[in-house]
Amino acid sequence: MNASGPASLLQVQGVTLQYRTEKHVVTATYRVSFDVYGADRFVVLGPSGCGKSTLLKAVGGYMAPTEGTMKLKGVPINNPGADRVFVFQEFDQLLPWKTVKQNVTFALQSARKLRGKAAEAQAMRYIEKVNLARFADSYPHTLSGGMKQRVAIARALAMEPDVLLMDEPFAALDALTRRKMQEELLQLWDETRFTMLFVTHSIPEAVLVGNRILLLSPHPGQVKGELNSDGSDRVDAASGRKLSERIHDMLFADRIEEQEAVHHG
Amino acid sequence: MADATAIPAHPLALPPLRPEYLREVVAGKDIGVIEQPLTLWQRLANQAWLRKAIVLLVIASAWELYARWLNNPLLVPTFTATLDAFETGMTNGELPEKVANSVVLLLKGYALGLALAMAFTALAIMSRIGNDLLETLTSAFNPLPAIALLPLALIWFGLGDISIIFVLVHSVLWAVALNTHSGFRSVSNTLRMVGRNYGLKGPRYIAKILIPAAFPSIVTGLKIGWAFAWRTLIAAELVFGVSSGKGGLGWYIYENKNMLDIPAVFAGLLTVILIGLIVENVIFRNIEAVTVRRWGMQS
């Protein structure tokens, strides 16, 4: 925020996103601004319908904003590119016709980042990092959901992108696996210090995974604030409340007002 | 509240309160059978080829018994007589030659049909007008039996291989294009985004994402196209038979019917069926085994 500090990696300024359905033009986000700095674990948190996934798609270059600008390292974002690698929620993001190792080398070769032996070595390095070396030659359909997501994370990290875009990557996992994956992700971050933009609707996940949390309100998504987190759900000195409780109050304050309005009306 | 106790089926009734209990589980080795190999009989019954072979055997026996009971080789020759005629045809070289003629012609038409189908589908994927073109053409031509074009083909291209190849292309092209195109369209949005994320565009995107992802539909298209081509070829050969001095299997059947050599007619039909079975169960099955089945895209 201060002018003398390091320059931000990703700048999103006044971005309004609209998409067309059969009958309507829907505004997903309205004038959203935020800055992501190097090594940030930047979480975008909001209830369903706040346009957070759409926002991530826009940063990924899959859709253009109707208003506002998005810049990565000062360069406007126009197209999808390998400098911003996605990890999706869906398990079918792995190519079923390629083994775990081939999935990673495929990414490196398609993006013309590395070839041949170098690509293989890089792939194995990151597959080992997510503890899947034993499964390097397995096809994705033989893996569990958690393992598939680990492959997707290894594939994304192997690309060594400027920013990792994670679209609720653990939402389809069972609670125990999800918890384990969150810990592993933090451990990976400790080792490699990548920058990530992480979208979720889970407050505990945001508090655990993020160091900076952007809160969005629903219909359309507007910024409600940015909070810091140290992962421990600390108690705020000023209000005497836990971080997760403060977030909960901020996100769901509207809903309580709505309900009251209904009751009184 | 007093009413609630009086009526036992009240919606707010509570389940009975039961005591809790805890148990020690038995160690795996004490249970006995956890994994037991199947018996020989169970394993044999699991072999699809064996079950199908038995079905074929039953059909052949029924045929043999019926033909013997009917005792009229001009209508239905026995299974053994058919086998004899088949053996004679194979040993005197007539049948292999006809098969070779048919298969070579078929492969020419099939290859050309596939190439055109690929071109059409690529066009349909890359532009909206190409998409409209393919959809209109497939909906118009797919229901039209290819053999219905044979009279026209004969007028345009004369009595020869080109006419047959023309109808073969027509029989393959639309079935393959239709299946490939619907396969491309059902590729998941996530996979598409993954492909674009790693910078794949145009032909590289089609080759590396769309074709493998749509492979189950493409194989189905190839199978349907093959079956259409094979039956169209035999039918075309039956209609105008010999071309440029050498006939195919259809001609073999037609010729032997004219000579009232009915066992040979049956032998010709048996050959048509056998080739169909081999292509389906050996060639396509193996293609599927090393691709879609291995990838877990088809069980």
> Taking 70 as the threshold, does the pLDDT of residue B159 lie above it?
yes
> Taking 80 as the threshold, does the pLDDT of residue B161 lie above it?
yes
Does B193 sit within 8 Å of A107, measured CB to CB? no
Of A84, A106, A139, Cβ closest to residue B295: A139
Does A85 sit within 8 Å of B197, measured CB to CB? yes
**pLDDT for res A247:** 87
* Interface check B294 vs A, CB under 8 A: yes
Does A97 sit within 8 Å of B295, measured CB to CB? yes
* Interface check B156 vs A, CB under 8 A: no
Of B188, B193, B200, Cβ closest to residue A110: B200
Of B188, B199, B294, Cβ closest to residue A110: B199
CA distance A147 to chain B (A): 16
Does A96 sit within 8 Å of B296, measured CB to CB? yes
Q: Alpha-carbon distance B233 to B250, whole Å?
A: 8
**Does residue A224 fall inside a structural domain?**
yes
Does B188 sit within 8 Å of A96, measured CB to CB? no
**Does residue A241 fall inside a structural domain?**
yes
> Per the confidence metrics, is the pTM higher than 0.90?
no
Give the tens place of pLDDT for each residue, B166-207.
Answer: 999 999 999 999 999 999 999 999 999 999 999 888 888 988
Q: Alpha-carbon distance A125 to B71, whole Å?
A: 76
Q: Partners of A68 in the beta sheet?
A: none
* Interface check A225 vs B, CB under 8 A: no
| Upper half-sphere CA count for residue B100 (Cβ side, 13 Å) | 7
> Taking 80 as the threshold, does the pLDDT of residue B283 lie above it?
yes
**pLDDT for res A261:** 54
For chain A, the domain total comes to: 1
Which residue segment(s) compose the domain that A238 sits in? 7-35+46-83+199-265
**Does residue A149 fall inside a structural domain?**
no
* Interface check A115 vs B, CB under 8 A: no
* Interface check A19 vs B, CB under 8 A: no
Give the CATH number, domain containing residue A63.
Answer: 3.40.50
Does B296 sit within 8 Å of A81, measured CB to CB? no
Give the tens place of pLDDT for each residue, B110-139.
Answer: 999 999 999 999 889 888 899 999 999 999
A248, two tokens: 């909960």
What mean pLDDT, rounded, does chain B reach? 87
H-type helices in chain B, by residue range? 2-6, 28-31, 40-45, 48-70, 79-91, 94-126, 128-141, 150-157, 161-185, 189-197, 202-205, 211-213, 215-240, 249-258, 262-278, 285-290
**Does residue A232 fall inside a structural domain?**
yes
A124, two tokens: 């194995």
Name the residue in chain A with its Cα closest to that of B296. Answer: A141
Does A141 sit within 8 Å of B194, measured CB to CB? no
Chain B residues close to A159, C-beta within 8 Å:
198
Does A86 sit within 8 Å of B194, measured CB to CB? yes
**Among candidates A90, A142, A152, which has minimal Cα distance to B295?**
A142
Chain B residues close to A83, C-beta within 8 Å:
none
Chain A residues close to B295, C-beta within 8 Å:
96-97, 139, 141
Q: Alpha-carbon distance A37 to B93, whole Å?
A: 79
**Does residue A257 fall inside a structural domain?**
yes
- Do residues A99 and A138 touch, judged by C-beta distance below 8 A? yes
Q: Write down the ipTM of this complex.
A: 0.87
B94-290 placed in CATH 1.10.3720.10: yes
- Do residues A176 and A132 touch, judged by C-beta distance below 8 A? no
**Does residue A15 fall inside a structural domain?**
yes
Dihedral angle at the C-alpha atoms of B246, B250, B256, B262, nearest 10 degrees? 160
Give the tens place of pLDDT for each residue, B21-36.
Answer: 888 887 777 777 767 7
Chain A residues close to B215, C-beta within 8 Å:
97
Give pLDDT tens digits along chain A (265 positions).
444 567 788 999 999 998 888 888 888 889 999 999 988 999 999 888 788 889 999 999 999 999 999 999 888 898 898 899 999 999 889 999 999 999 999 999 888 888 888 888 989 988 988 888 899 899 999 998 889 999 999 999 999 899 999 999 998 888 888 888 899 899 989 988 999 999 999 999 999 999 999 999 888 888 888 888 888 888 888 888 888 888 888 887 665 555 555 555 4
**Does residue A238 fall inside a structural domain?**
yes
A111, two tokens: 């993006």
- Do residues B122 and B177 touch, judged by C-beta distance below 8 A? no
Does B198 sit within 8 Å of A106, measured CB to CB? yes
**Does residue A227 fall inside a structural domain?**
yes
Please state the φ and ψ torsions of residue A127, each to the nearest 5 degrees. Answer: -65, -40
* Interface check B197 vs A, CB under 8 A: yes
**Quick one: what percent of chain B has pLDDT higher than 70?**
93
Please state the φ and ψ torsions of residue A165, each to the nearest 5 degrees. Answer: -105, 115
Does A82 sit within 8 Å of B198, measured CB to CB? yes
The domains of chain B are located at 94-290
DSSP state of B284: I
**Among candidates A43, A22, A20, which has minimal Cα distance to A196?**
A43
